[in-house]
């Protein structure tokens, strides 16, 4: 079932050219105006600058999850706050 493009390990960062590695993190996504927090998201992390890259399959799955979960799913058990202020783009 696993897509061959799930892993970004070995890809290079388009910002600094560093190598990406596979990590799983708790991430928030804005899907059609709704903010959802997803735990254990597999993504590629640049080992040099820390830039995050989400495989297309992951973004697709998050969008599906946002569709099938109720409005309550927007609220995590505890507030998840970004340590650094994020850009509010998109
Ligand atoms: Zn980088």
* CATH number of the domain bearing residue 52: 3.10.20
For residue 13, how far is its CA from the centre of ligand 1 (angstroms)?
Answer: 5
What is the predicted pLDDT for the residue at 47? 96
User: 24 lies in a domain?
Assistant: yes
- Compute the mean pLDDT over every residue in the chain, rounded to the nearest whole number: 82
Phi/psi-derived region of residue 11, left when phi > 0, alpha when psi is between -120 and 50, beta in every other case: beta
How many domains are contained in the chain? 1
Which one has a higher pLDDT value, 12 or 83? 12
What is the three-class DSSP state of 40? Answer: strand
User: 59 lies in a domain?
Assistant: yes
Q: What is the pLDDT of residues 31-65, one digit of tens each?
A: 888 788 899 999 999 999 999 999 999 999 998 88
For residue 67, how far is its CA from the centre of ligand 1 (angstroms)?
Answer: 32
User: 37 lies in a domain?
Assistant: yes
What is the predicted pLDDT for the residue at 82? 75
For residue 53, how far is its CA from the centre of ligand 1 (angstroms)?
Answer: 10
Q: Which domain holds residue 46?
A: 20-72
For residue 57, how far is its CA from the centre of ligand 1 (angstroms)?
Answer: 21
User: 13 lies in a domain?
Assistant: no
User: What pTM was computed for the model?
Assistant: 0.66
């Amino acid at each position: 079932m696993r897509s061959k493009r799930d892993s970004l390990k070995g890809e290079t960062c388009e910002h600094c050219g560093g190598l990406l590695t596979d990590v799983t993190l708790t991430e928030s996504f804005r899907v059609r105006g709704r903010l959802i927090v997803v735990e254990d998201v597999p993504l590629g992390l640049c080992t040099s600058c820390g830039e995050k890259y989400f495989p297309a399959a992951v973004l697709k799955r998050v969008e599906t999850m946002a569709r099938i979960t109720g409005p309550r799913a927007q609220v995590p058990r505890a507030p998840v706050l970004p340590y650094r202020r994020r850009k509010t783009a998109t």
